[in-house]
Amino acid sequence: MDETARLRRLYGRLASLGYGGDYNPEQWGPEVHAEDAELMREAGVNLVTLGIFSWAKTEPAPGAYDFTWLDGHLDRLAEAGVAVGLATMTASPPPWLTRLHPSVLPVTEDGVRLHPGSRQHWCPSSPVHRTHAVRLAERLATRYGTHPALALWHIGNEYGCHISRHCHCEVSTAAFRGWLRQRYGTVAELNDAWSTDFWSQRYGTFEEIHTPRKAPSFRNPAQQLDYWRFSSDELLACYLAEKEVLTRITPDVPVTTNFVPLAKTLDLFAWAPHLDVIAYDSYPDPHDESAPHRTAFSYDVMRGLKDGRPWLLLEQAPGAVNWRERNGRKPPGRMRLDSWQAVAHGADSVLFFQWRQSRGGAEKFHSAMVPHGGRETRIFREVRELGAELASYPDLLGSRPERADAALLLDWPSWWALELDAHPSADVRLLDAALAHHKPLYDASVACDVVSAKTDLAALTRYRLLLIPNLYSVTNETAERICTYVRTGGTVVMSYFSGITDEHDRVHLGGYPAPFRALLGLRVEEFDPRPDGTWTEEIHLEGAQAVTSSPEGAPTVTRHTYGEGTAWYLSTRPAPKEMRALLDRVRAECGVRPTLPDLPEGVRARTRVTAAGDRLHVVLNEGDLSVEVRRESR
């Protein structure tokens, strides 16, 4: 059974977009449960995530399972017509597991073993954790596989949130060595890839290799890069071990896990094929003016993970969170706007952390759909209104986000490599670059997809414009594909410090950026980042035209006709206003237009296309004033 068939189990249970949140009934007694049922009905809840942190309650002693408490909740939810994303409960191991098997606890890079008492305190390579986790997943699948409430499996929780690249124990070290053996075959190959003749690091055997633990100075960059890859793969292996047992026992139930906001830790393009539907947790800071844009970008990334398919917003906060230094509330209306923003960018559900605000524990000051104050609160009133509003657009369910004409290229391994230490500047950060390229499109209400560096040529050529922010590390094959994309008519906007190293962080020789020199029509001789964080470089034009130059006459933006297409190059980061003007010009040249014409300042629109082919525009007013927007098609 493939993912489309499995997803029917979820979508078949929903009459409109999914609406609800994390439901943690184990924190409450029967009276509250009765009220939950009533309030969920009032709020229009149709989907909840159940059991995320319920391992200790469900398996109170090794191998002794107690499902009775869960049976009742699932039955009640089924009766109320609420679909359930049932968690495999493995994100937070119970105290007995780490008491009996302290080796499960992760070890930091300086050798400190972390303690239980929080959550995610497990080593991703631990066979003990994996065996116990899979056993629990198997029990859950066997018991609830045919339960009418079960619509979706939710494996673990936010992989890599607390423990990515966070284990340097002996078990992890052995696993890292095994992973390297698989990747390189021989230690000679590894020595070559890791440039170990530098600083006398040549290895005689795999047994001499460690995870990049705390060391006197810079650690080998290729080793660090491989450790990022290994950590992402190792967590994926944990997820897959559980998934394997779930799909064997319940082949008709879709499987997902929730990704952390704009996380660097996991290579999400490598993970995505293993999720039936992408799921995401979004926590914009209501006091950060850049948050709506960052959030929009993150949603574009989520949509890009499965080539434009809708995804699930699995968590957001109805009001304040509790984990920033100062946790401001969302002002009235903000939650509604945030929710529609997610839908506009492709979300098929609007779920919250969590349904009912906890009374005790570390998250008691985190907002919830039902606040401590209960039904007579502003938040619950807004929750009720939003539920009714989402339910009144049933056509959105089954609609697909309209494909954009522009895309931004993102690659996790290059992101990891870009931000390694001992570089020309510590100020070059991928997210800053990606957001700076995406913002002018967002401000102009131009839709932008996100694509992986591995996207094939046919898929790339669907786009008129490709933004390539700081693609520092690139394989020859990818570079060649990008060049062909332009040669055959595409337009790229590429930023500095792209095409510098290969997949092992070895410099592409032949003048920077060697794989893109012909494409861009220039050569970079030296990098010269300034103390204020500005990046500059010395460029020699080899066919490109300078579009703008610095006061000293150095080209800052260049344009080069390459075959049928055009390659723009930014040798520095223009100020936001200049970036907008530049991208407006580039867009005009290659015909990339806003979703709707003439939208007032602060108003953004995205389009979803229904199964019947109708275009639905979701129009978001992010400004402070009321505006009227006329409906016109593109």
Based on C-alpha coordinates, what's the Rg of the chain? Answer: 25
The CB-of-324 to ligand GLA minimum distance in angstroms stands at 10
Bridge-based pairing of strands 347-352 and 537-541 is: unpaired
Q: Give 259 or 340: the residue with its C-beta nearer to ligand GLA.
A: 259
158 is catalytic: yes
The torsion angles phi and psi of 578, rounded to 5 degrees, stand at -70, -35
Name the active-site residue from 59, 234, 242, 315.
Answer: 315
> 């391994």: which residue's tokens?
413
Residue 611 CB neighbour total at 10 angstroms: 10
Residue 415 CB neighbour total at 10 angstroms: 21
Q: Give 133 or 180: the residue with its C-beta nearer to ligand GLA.
A: 133
Q: Give 235 or 514: the residue with its C-beta nearer to ligand GLA.
A: 235
Distance, CA of 570 to CA of 497 (rounded, Å): 10
Residues that bind ligand GLA (CB under 6 A): 157-158, 281, 283, 315, 321, 353, 363, 366
Distance, CA of 604 to CA of 618 (rounded, Å): 8
Distance, CA of 18 to CA of 74 (rounded, Å): 17
The CB-of-323 to ligand GLA minimum distance in angstroms stands at 6
The CB-of-118 to ligand GLA minimum distance in angstroms stands at 11
382 is catalytic: no
User: What string of H, E and C letters represents the secondary structure of 379-405?
Assistant: HHHHHHHHHHHHHCCHHHCCCEECCCC
Q: Give 157 or 357: the residue with its C-beta nearer to ligand GLA.
A: 157
Name the E strands within 563-602. Answer: 565-570
Q: Give 92 or 470: the residue with its C-beta nearer to ligand GLA.
A: 92
Distance, CA of 209 to CA of 223 (rounded, Å): 9
Q: Give 219 or 264: the residue with its C-beta nearer to ligand GLA.
A: 264
Name the active-site residue from 59, 158, 234, 382.
Answer: 158
Tokens standing for residue 215: 């060391």
Amino acid at 390: L
- 305: which strand partners? none
CB-based contact 603:585 (threshold 8 Å): no
Q: Give 160 or 304: the residue with its C-beta nearer to ligand GLA.
A: 160
Distance, CA of 211 to CA of 230 (rounded, Å): 10
Distance set, CA 155 to CA 18, 51, 274, 439, 441 (Å): 18, 10, 11, 33, 35
Distance, CA of 483 to CA of 600 (rounded, Å): 37
The CB-of-91 to ligand GLA minimum distance in angstroms stands at 8
**Residue with CB nearest ligand GLA?**
281
User: Under 8 Å CB-to-CB from 267, ≥6 apart: which residues?
Assistant: 229, 232, 412, 413
Tokens standing for residue 46: 């149709």
> Helix or strand or coil: residue 359?
coil
The CB-of-330 to ligand GLA minimum distance in angstroms stands at 13
CB-based contact 373:580 (threshold 8 Å): no
Q: Give 320 or 541: the residue with its C-beta nearer to ligand GLA.
A: 320
The CB-of-556 to ligand GLA minimum distance in angstroms stands at 40
According to DSSP, residue 113 is labeled B
The CB-of-366 to ligand GLA minimum distance in angstroms stands at 5
The CB-of-553 to ligand GLA minimum distance in angstroms stands at 50
Residues belonging to the active site: 158, 315
